[in-house]
């Protein structure tokens, strides 16, 4: 759990996420990490798995299908006369994800189906359409785009390439921090994918390890892919006011949000640069540069606190890499790298 240990369950007013165990104070209704509805405080179930993104594969237990939700029981069926749904492979706060076979092309794809409880919600529908709109404009090996989208039997869905690998959050959980020679190439690849998105006028706004896949190539090598543009916004848009929407989906994840995103200021590429810097810090150290016991504490630390340095956590880190990560998470946008290309070049020159 990224925001530190849960608050004591004895606080009767506390609400808990049944998926990740994070606690929140009323009037919060949904978890800021994975979008799940909150329940009254108490100890999390030891059998409840942590959410590790929507394209996870491997030995990860999924929660049982939600009773009465047609979108959760599509395995073995054909979606829209074209997609043979093989098995459910993931679940997020808004949608189920299935591995499927495209009967027209023979290609294995991932089909993301909106939860039935959200199909009548204008905000949820708008977010799904927004994800389809922006991701269909992207075509880069380090970005997971959208192949198609539609609606069948009242269920809106997106079709994406099926990524063979595991999320970065899953890798971190299994193996802990990565040494620089392994981590820095992944960070440079993410810079390239996000630079492509920024060039297409798209900001991600919710970059975190759960939204990065490490995809296995035929050679056995891996490359990083940015996923889930559900919160993406065209960079020409006006100020993004932070709010809890009617569906409970927070526009961003507190541990990775830039100060200007927390404040609801207009965003540009430098906000994604901040998020990637925080992601890189965690990938290299297993810790966050800004820490707090609650989502609110974490956001306050982003606004007022001084971040840790890589070498404070691990003195063996290269000094040049320490400087690069520190610049990427500078408090003022003008003090950060100004483009993802600048960030990538600095990583290249850090010589881990």
Query: How confident is residue 17, by pLDDT bands cut at 50, 70 and 90?
Result: low
Q: What share of the chain is helix, strand, coil (3-state, %, to 5)?
A: 30, 20, 50
Task: Please give the CATH topology (third level) of the domain spanning 165-349.
Answer: Transferase(Phosphotransferase); domain 1 (1.10.510)
Looking at the DSSP bridge assignments, the partners of residue 23 are 16
Q: Which residues are catalytic?
A: 206
Torsion angles phi and psi, residue 204, rounded to 5: -80, -55
What integer pLDDT is reported at residue 232 of this predicted model? 58
Give yes or no for a contact between 292 and 32, defined as CB atoms under 8 angstroms apart: no
> Which stretch, 47-56, 90-99, 252-261, 339-348, has highest mean pLDDT?
339-348
Average pLDDT over residues 236-265: 59
Q: What is the pTM of this model?
A: 0.74
Average pLDDT over residues 54-70: 46
What integer pLDDT is reported at residue 217 of this predicted model? 86
Average pLDDT over residues 228-234: 62
Average pLDDT over residues 281-285: 95
What integer pLDDT is reported at residue 51 of this predicted model? 30
Average pLDDT over residues 273-286: 96
- As assigned by CATH, the class of the 70-161 domain is alpha beta
Residue 171 backbone class (left: φ over 0; alpha: ψ -120 to 50; beta: rest):
alpha
21-35: burial string, b at 16+ Cβ within 10 Å, e else: bbbbeeebebbbbbb
Query: How confident is residue 242, by pLDDT bands cut at 50, 70 and 90?
Result: very low
The Cα 105–Cα 73 span in angstroms is 24
Asked if pLDDT for residue 294 goes beyond 80, the answer is no
Cα four-point dihedral sign 117, 122, 123, 127 = positive
What integer pLDDT is reported at residue 246 of this predicted model? 30
What integer pLDDT is reported at residue 125 of this predicted model? 81
Smallest CA-to-CA distance from 298 within 284, 287, 309 is with 287
Q: Which residues contact 209 (CB under 8 A, 6 or more apart)?
A: 167, 168, 169, 172, 279, 282, 283
Q: What DSSP state is assigned to residue 305?
A: P
The Cα 273–Cα 342 span in angstroms is 10
> For the chain, what are the domain ranges?
1-48, 70-161, 165-349
Q: Which residue has the higher pLDDT, 256 or 304?
A: 256
Average pLDDT over residues 48-57: 29
Give me the helix-helix angle, 340-349 and 319-328, nearest 10°.
Answer: 170
Q: What is the pLDDT of residues 109-141, one digit of tens each?
A: 999 998 888 888 887 788 778 778 777 888 999
Half-sphere exposure in the Cβ direction for 41 (13 Å, CA):
15
Q: What is the pLDDT of residues 84-112, one digit of tens each?
A: 999 998 887 778 999 999 999 999 999 99
Asked if pLDDT for residue 268 goes beyond 60, the answer is yes
Asked if pLDDT for residue 64 goes beyond 60, the answer is no
The Cα 286–Cα 183 span in angstroms is 12
Q: Which residue has the higher pLDDT, 64 or 183?
A: 183
Looking at the DSSP bridge assignments, the partners of residue 137 are none
């Amino acid at each position: 759990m990224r925001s530190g240990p849960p608050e004591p369950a004895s606080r009767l007013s506390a609400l808990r996420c049944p998926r990740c165990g994070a606690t929140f104070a009323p009037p919060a209704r949904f978890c800021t990490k994975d979008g799940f509805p909150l329940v009254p405080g108490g100890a999390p179930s030891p059998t409840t798995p942590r959410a590790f993104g929507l394209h996870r594969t491997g030995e990860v237990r999924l929660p049982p299908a939600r009773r009465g939700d047609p979108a959760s029981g599509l395995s073995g069926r054909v979606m829209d006369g074209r997609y043979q749904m093989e098995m459910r492979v993931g679940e997020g706060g808004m949608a189920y994800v299935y591995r499927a076979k495209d009967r027209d092309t023979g290609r294995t794809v991932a089909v993301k189906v909106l939860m039935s409880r959200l199909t009548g919600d204008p905000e949820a529908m708008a977010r799904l359409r927004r994800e389809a709109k922006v991701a269909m404009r992207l075509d880069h090996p380090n970005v997971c785009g959208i192949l198609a989208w539609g609606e069948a039997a009242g269920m809106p869905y997106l079709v994406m390439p099926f990524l063979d690998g595991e999320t970065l959050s899953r890798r971190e959980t299994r193996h802990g921090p990565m040494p620089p020679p392994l981590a820095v190439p992944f960070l440079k690849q993410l810079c390239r994918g996000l630079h492509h998105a920024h060039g297409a006028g798209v900001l991600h706004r919710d970059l975190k390890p759960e939204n990065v896949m490490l995809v296995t190539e035929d050679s056995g090598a891996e490359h990083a892919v940015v996923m889930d543009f559900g919160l993406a916004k065209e960079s020409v848009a006006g100020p993004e006011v932070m709010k809890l929407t009617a569906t409970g989906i927070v526009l961003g994840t507190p541990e990775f949000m830039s100060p200007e995103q927390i404040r609801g200021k207009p965003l540009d590429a430098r906000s994604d640069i901040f998020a990637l810097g925080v992601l890189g810090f965690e990938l290299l150290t297993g810790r966050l540069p800004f820490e707090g016991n609650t989502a609110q504490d974490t956001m306050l630390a982003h606004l007022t606190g001084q971040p840790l340095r890589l070498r404070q956590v691990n003195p063996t880190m290269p000094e040049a890499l320490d400087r690069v990560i520190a610049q990427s998470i500078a408090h003022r946008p003008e003090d950060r790298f100004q483009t993802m290309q600048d960030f990538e070049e600095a990583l290249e020159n850090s010589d881990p």
